[in-house]
């Protein structure tokens, strides 16, 4: 995590096929005060165009410290963040 003025850079783990496009981790700038899961997804979609379609379709789930959270959940700079693709099968 690094800081620039009013933003910090957080590392987000990409799980499953989201990591297929390259590195299993991406760095994303978020407000230093934190942001919602929906705001984080918007930042990831902007910075990682390969993930934009799945994010825009609402298919990607945000996990904070091993728990799937809603779009309104608040992320803080020290949280461990992961993104999961849609899961199918049975």
The model's pLDDT over 46-81, given as tens digits with 9 standing for 90+, comes to 988 888 998 999 889 999 998 999 999 999 888 999
Q: Is position 89 within any domain?
A: no
Q: Is position 49 within any domain?
A: yes
Q: Is position 47 within any domain?
A: yes
Q: Is position 62 within any domain?
A: yes
Q: Is position 79 within any domain?
A: yes
Q: What is the pLDDT of residue 14?
A: 95
- The CATH number of whichever domain residue 80 belongs to comes to 3.10.20
**Residue 63: phi, psi to the nearest 5?**
-120, 135
Q: Is position 51 within any domain?
A: yes
Q: Is position 15 within any domain?
A: no
Q: Which run of H or E residues covers position 10?
A: strand 7-14
DSSP per residue, the chain: -EEETTEEEEEEEE-GGGGGGS-SEEEEEEETT-EEHHHHHHHHHHH-GGGHHHHHTT-PEEEETTEEE-TTPEE-TTS-EEEE------
Domain hosting 65: range is 2-10+20-84
Domain tally, the chain:
1
Q: Is position 39 within any domain?
A: yes
Model confidence over 4-36: pLDDT tens digits? 568 889 999 999 989 886 789 999 998 888 899
The answer to whether the beta carbons of residues 80 and 64 sit under 8 Å apart is yes
Position 90 pLDDT exceeds 80: no
DSSP designation for 14: E
């Amino acid at each position: 995590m690094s800081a620039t003025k009013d933003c910090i850079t957080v590392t987000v783990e990409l799980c499953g096929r989201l990591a297929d496009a390259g590195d299993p981790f991406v760095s994303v700038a978020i407000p230093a005060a934190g942001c919602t899961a929906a705001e984080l997804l918007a930042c990831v979609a902007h910075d990682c165009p390969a993930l934009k379609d799945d994010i825009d379709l609402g298919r990607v789930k945000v996990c904070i410290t091993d728990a799937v959270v809603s779009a309104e959940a608040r992320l803080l700079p020290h949280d461990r963040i992961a993104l999961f693709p849609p899961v199918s099968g049975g």
